[in-house]
Amino acid sequence: MNTELTGIVATFLLTLVIAIPLGKYLAKVFAGEKVWTDFLKPLETGIYKLSGINIKEQMNWKQQLKALLTINILWLFYGFFVLIFQDKLPFNPDGNPGMTPDLAFNTIISFVANCNLQHYSGESGVSYLTQQYVLMFLQFVSAATGIAAAVVLFKAFRDKTTTQLGNFWEFFVKAITRLLLPLSFVMALILTFNGTPASYEGKDQFISMQGDTVHVSRGPAAQMIAIKHLGTNGGGYFGVNSAHPFENPSYFTNMVELIAQVIIPIAMVIAFGYFIRRKKLAWTIFGVMTIGLFMLLIPMLSSELGGNPALAKMGISQSTGAMEGKEVRFGPAASAYWSTVTTIISTGSVNSMHDSTMPMSGTWQLLGMMINSFYGGCGVGLLNYFIYLIVAVFISGLMVGRTPEFLGHKVEAREIKIAAIITLLSPFLILAGTAIASYIFTSHGDAAWAVQPKNWLNNPGFHGFSEMLYEMTSSNANNGSGFEGLGDNNMFWNLSTGIVIFLGRFLPIIGPVAIAGLLGAKKFIPESAGTLKTDTKTFALMTFAVIIVLNALSYFPALALGPLAEYFTMLK
């Protein structure tokens, strides 16, 4: 096996070695059992005291959501004003300008929603104050929001019948103090000692060996890159994200960043099983998700390692795979692995430019984001998967003619309605959004926006359509990566993707938490011979089938117009 493939095998195995124990640890942390990090308790007590929080106060699911939404809305206002006035605020050594209102609207929603779609470039678009006090801050708290919401769902299924789902603030604070902050600290130091800048010095300047004057953007990047991966945020310090040699200096740091973004999503699945004392269920879910990962990864590897057939026709050997938009220190295999992981997990950081990947790779990237629950983002991946589970329970129940049940609670009309709305939301936002964008591109090309619609696309033909489809899909999935050729910093894209991100974030949090809250409050029915078991291989297969069928039906036509059409054109 060549060293590029051994590299990704080692990365995946190391991920599991860290993620599985981490999951068991998290189950204990959120259940309030004894763990070795209990020495941090005084810090947490201090935070609760200063914030006027009493963690003994129990909340039902509606109160949980109220607390969650209140603090998220507060962050929206806080960040919006800092972004607009950043040129007048301190810590702006490079003298970068304030954001336009539409760009600030997009950016702040994007970061509050853990999406991190960036329509600005890190070097020239934000100040050091914004980078740290808004963007990096939100990378911590948005990840903690997702994790806390998932823990609320755990709580609903731990006891037989309950409306008391614990205290939201406690879950939220613990997600930071026991998980995100310590891991970020360690990872930021690893990055710093491997070359990533961490100091507050401003731009530097030097004369190159050939006599050119070169300006170099720097700044406290390591701190942000650590949490951007651990929190599945993905918003980079520099414009090109983790393809930038400062953000990702070597193959080693590339492995570290790849591992960091996957461990918490996997750990949350394991934690779910241990928390509700149904370990087998967690392993079944983990199994389905992992098979999903490989089904997207293997064809992606094959198309990227195979190289660009158009260049092969020109007589350039493609033995080293496709290299446009990729870095030599990572190579095509680690770049393909990254782009699979970052799209299924909603991180959205990149170490190669997705716009320049092969057409079939684009298909797998899009599918990963459309499904959005093969591991999925911090906490929210499991919430998305939960919706698929409920749909699978309902369909299986219909097939065998029994009342659908999930973990001892009857699934009835109200829950199914919520699940159906959430399931339909994604295709609606993605397809309607892309359709409106395409209409404006073709019929109103001269609209007087910062980037005129006719100049939006960096590539002609089918690939141009894929750029628009990708932008909407990435927004809805709260992923944040892009086909970056798209001219996206203008009124239309800033507002439309801002709205899509907002709905694509909060409705899929509210829905599953509501279903869990409703189910948890229902009478517990003990398991009998007639119970549909949800931790069997058969049911796992059923869930997998539901995921594939729902997504294929929703998205195949759009995929056929974009990447698939490009692929078949290139075959000619």
**Contacts (CB under 8 A) with another protein, residues 442-481:** 458-461, 463, 466
User: Is there binding between residue 95 and another protein (CB under 8 A)?
Assistant: no
Beta bridge partners of 406: 409
Give the residue among 35, 10, 12 at the shortest CA–CA distance from 341. Answer: 12
Q: Does 428 bind another protein (CB under 8 A)?
A: no
246 scored as a contact of another protein (CB under 8 A): yes
Does 317 bind another protein (CB under 8 A)? Our answer is yes
The CA distance from 392 to 403, in Å, is: 13
Q: Which is nearer to another protein, 16 or 189 (CB)?
A: 189
Query: Tell me, what amino acid is at 75?
Result: W
C-beta closer to another protein: residue 154 or 462: 462
Q: CB-based contacts of 348: which residues, under 8 Å, 6+ apart?
A: 115, 116, 117, 233, 234, 235, 342, 474, 479, 480, 481
Backbone angles phi, psi at 523, to 5 degrees: -60, 140
Q: What is the CA radius of gyration of the chain?
A: 23
Count interface residues toward another protein (CB under 8 A): 116
Among 192, 339, 476, 496, binds another protein (CB under 8 A): 192
- The DSSP letter of residue 99 is P
- Residue 133 or 428: which CB sits closer to another protein? 133
Report if residue 210 touches another protein, rule: CB under 8 A: yes
**Residue 51, both tokens:** 């914030």
Q: In this complex, which beta carbon is closest to another protein, that of residue 50 or of residue 448?
A: 50
Q: Is 486 left (phi over 0), alpha (psi -120 to 50) or beta?
A: beta
Q: Does residue 388 sit in helix, strand or coil? A: helix
- Give the integer Cα–Cα distance in Å for 93 and 220: 12
Residue 201 as a binder of another protein (CB under 8 A): the answer is yes
Residue 123 sits in the site that holds another protein (CB under 8 A)? yes
Half-sphere exposure of residue 152: CA atoms within 13 angstroms, side-chain side: 35
**Which residue's CB is nearer to another protein, number 50 or number 413?**
50
Task: Indicate which single residue of 40, 47, 84, 561 sits in contact with another protein (rule: CB under 8 A).
Answer: 47
* 3-state DSSP assignment of residue 541: helix
Q: Which of 93, 239, 287, 408 binds another protein (CB under 8 A)?
A: 239
Query: 234 in helix, strand or coil?
Result: coil
Q: Residue 274 Cβ, how far from another protein at the closest point, in Å?
A: 28
Measure Cα distances from 373 to 52, 212, 216, 279 in Å.
36, 48, 38, 19
379: enclosing H helix or E strand? none
Q: Which of 13, 291, 298, 316 binds another protein (CB under 8 A)?
A: 316
Q: Is 97 in the site for another protein (CB under 8 A)?
A: no
Does 209 engage in binding with another protein (CB under 8 A)?
yes
C-beta separation of 382 from 272 below 8 A: yes
Q: In this chain, which stretch among 154-162, 266-274, 328-336, 538-546 interacts with another protein, using CB under 8 A?
A: 328-336
Asked if 570 interacts with another protein (CB under 8 A), we say yes
DSSP string, 440-493: HHHH-TT--SSS-GGG--SS-HHHHHHHHHHHHHHHHTT-----TTS---SHHH
Nearer to another protein, 307 or 397 (CB): 307
Nearest residue (CB) to another protein, 364 versus 385: 364
**321 forms part of the interface with another protein (CB under 8 A):** yes
Interface of this chain with another protein, residues 347 to 366, rule: CB under 8 A: 350-353, 355-359
Does 7 bind another protein (CB under 8 A)? Our answer is: yes
Nearer to another protein, 223 or 346 (CB): 223
CB within 8 Å of 376: residues ≥ 6 apart: 265, 344, 345, 346, 382, 383, 384, 385
End-to-end CA distance of the chain: 32
Q: Which is nearer to another protein, 139 or 496 (CB)?
A: 139
Closest CB to another protein among residues 314, 529? 314
C-beta of 135: minimal distance to another protein in Å?
Answer: 10
Tell which positions 212-231 bind another protein, by CB under 8 A. Answer: 212, 214-218, 220, 222-223
Closest separation in Å from C-beta 329 to another protein: 5
- Specify the stretch interacting with another protein by CB under 8 A; choose among 190-198, 365-373, 404-412, 428-436: 190-198
Other C-beta atoms lying within 10 Å of the C-beta of residue 131: 22
Distance CA 231, CA 263 (A): 10
- 41 contacts another protein (rule: CB under 8 A): no
Among 78, 162, 279, 525, binds another protein (CB under 8 A): 78
Q: 34, 328, 446, 448: which one contacts another protein (CB under 8 A)?
A: 328
Burial of 69 from C-beta contacts in 10 A (0-12 / 13-18 / 19+): middle
- 506 sits near another protein (criterion: CB under 8 A): no
Residue 71 lies near another protein (rule: CB under 8 A): yes
Give whichever of 435 and 570 is closer to another protein, judged by the CB atom.
570
CB 225 within 8 A of CB 260: no
403 lies in the binding site for another protein (CB under 8 A): no
Q: Which is nearer to another protein, 188 or 392 (CB)?
A: 188
